[in-house]
């Protein structure tokens, strides 16, 4: 599984670099999601399937929902949708698709080559995760919640200003 870990790490680095360098928000988000999925594969390769599942559910899922929420809140209208279609050719999907296919292939390879071996994982109950999050990691949870709240308030005010502007 060490090959799977290193391959996922390489994909995560490439996808993160592409996410940072994209000027279009949607393109950057596609690469960010691939990067988060690669990190989940890395956790799985390290023998932490529960953390890998949390990575996919919380980060990749929550970021997508937050992004869609902000786009709906800003309500850019049909003219912006048409402009976005002109800016986004179908070839933009090639990069994220290739990186995601590589992730899927290495995950399948890792699962098939170690089919006889059991992944070193222990059962973690949700109660234990909750206790750890609100005792040992309480500061991190509060900082993340404040960051998300400030982003939500900022998105609301940006969208509100756009709706109230004359024109």
Q: For residues 107-126, give the mean pLDDT.
A: 65
CB-CB neighbours of 91 under 10 Å: 7
Question: Which residue range(s) make up the domain with 138?
Answer: 125-167
Co-location of 35 and 114 in the same domain: yes
Based on the fold, state whether residues 93 and 18 are members of the same structural domain: yes
Q: What is the pLDDT of residues 1-19, one digit of tens each?
A: 688 888 889 999 998 888 8
Q: Are residues 161 and 117 in the same domain?
A: no
The pLDDT score that the predictor gives to residue 2 is 80
- 149 and 115 assigned to the same domain: no
Residue pLDDT, tens place only, 20-72: 888 777 777 788 888 888 888 888 888 777 778 888 888 777 777 777 677 66
Band (pLDDT 50/70/90 cuts) for residue 104 is: confident
Asked whether residue 25 falls in the same domain as residue 78, the answer is: yes
Average pLDDT of every residue of the chain:
76
The pTM of this model reads 0.55
Residue predicted with more confidence, 119 or 85? 85
Domain total in the chain: 2
Residue 114 has pLDDT above 70, yes or no: no
Query: pLDDT confidence of 166, banded at 50, 70, 90?
Result: low
3-state secondary structure 80-129: HHHHHHHHCCHHHHHHHHHHHHHHHHHHHHHHHHCCCCCCCCCCCCHHHH
pLDDT score of 28:
78
What does the alpha-carbon distance between residue 107 and residue 25 come to, in Å, rounded to a whole number?
28
pLDDT at 105 over 80: yes
- Which of 93 and 20 is assigned the larger pLDDT? 20
């Amino acid at each position: 599984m060490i090959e799977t870990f290193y391959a996922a790490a390489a994909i995560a680095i490439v996808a993160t670099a592409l996410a940072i360098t994209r000027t279009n928000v949607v393109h950057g988000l596609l690469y960010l999601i691939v990067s988060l999925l690669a990190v989940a594969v890395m956790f799985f390769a390290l023998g932490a399937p529960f953390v890998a599942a949390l990575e996919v559910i919380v980060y990749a899922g929550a970021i997508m929902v937050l992004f869609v929420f902000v786009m709906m809140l800003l309500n850019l209208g049909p003219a912006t949708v048409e402009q976005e279609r002109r800016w986004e050719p179908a070839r933009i999907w090639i990069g994220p698709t290739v990186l995601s296919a590589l992730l899927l292939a290495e995950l399948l390879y890792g699962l098939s080559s170690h089919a006889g071996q059991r992944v070193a994982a222990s059962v973690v109950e949700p109660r234990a995760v909750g206790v750890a999050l609100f005792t040992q990691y309480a500061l991190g949870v509060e900082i993340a919640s404040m960051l998300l709240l400030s982003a939500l308030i900022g998105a609301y005010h940006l969208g509100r200003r756009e709706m109230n502007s004359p024109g």
